[in-house]
Amino acid sequence: MNMRSVVLTLAAAVVFSATASAAQPQGFWTMPAIKDFGPVHVWPEATDRPNAHSTYKALFDVTQGNPAADKVNPGLDHIARAVNTFAAAGVPLRHLKFDVIIHGGATPIALGEKAYMAKYGHANPNLAVIEALKKAGVNVMVCGNALGDMEFTPAEVNPDIKVALSALSTLVIQQNQGYALIRM
């Protein structure tokens, strides 16, 4: 499968995330790999399905955030949806090489419980989805430079998240390694 097909498949997974409706019948949505996040529906007649024997490499670039919000960051939910989309199509999780780089306005979502509470006065709503992504094999990173820009330290970062040298270097390195870039 060529890079264009991978990017189009991942982009479709993200776009379809906005179409969930309460009017759908019970069981219409499924979450085969990441429970409670990123629901998907697999239409029987859908085409351009992932090959269960292929390996898929994607780097999700999460930059949008609102620390005042008490809801999961939409980018993280869309990443869960991408994992669930491929899992629903029969792709084993070990065939998904999905990485996330958090930076810019999204940087605070990488904070651990104590630091987030101290800074924003409420619990970090992203902890459960980050833990679920990690359990599914997704590598979640935060930009070390963005931490510094916002006056956070690596000690304040959620232990499920690695501190990357910088988002800039991660974006270049991983694209050079063949990862499809998905901006959130």
* Nearest C-alpha neighbor of 132 from the set 83, 175, 168, 167: 83
Tell me, what's the pLDDT at 44?
A: 85
pLDDT at 1 over 60: no
How far is 171 from 114, CA to CA, in rounded Å? Answer: 29
Give the start-end residues of each E strand in the chain: 56-62, 96-102, 139-143, 162-164, 180-183
Confidence of residue 181 (pLDDT cuts 50, 70, 90): very high
How far is 183 from 14, CA to CA, in rounded Å? Answer: 10
Read off the pTM.
0.84
pLDDT at 144 over 80: yes
- Element housing 84 (H / E): helix 74-88
What pLDDT, in 10s, does the model give residues 71-108? Answer: 999 999 999 999 999 999 999 999 999 999 999 999 99
CATH superfamily of 3-16+31-39+54-183: DsrEFH-like (3.40.1260.10)
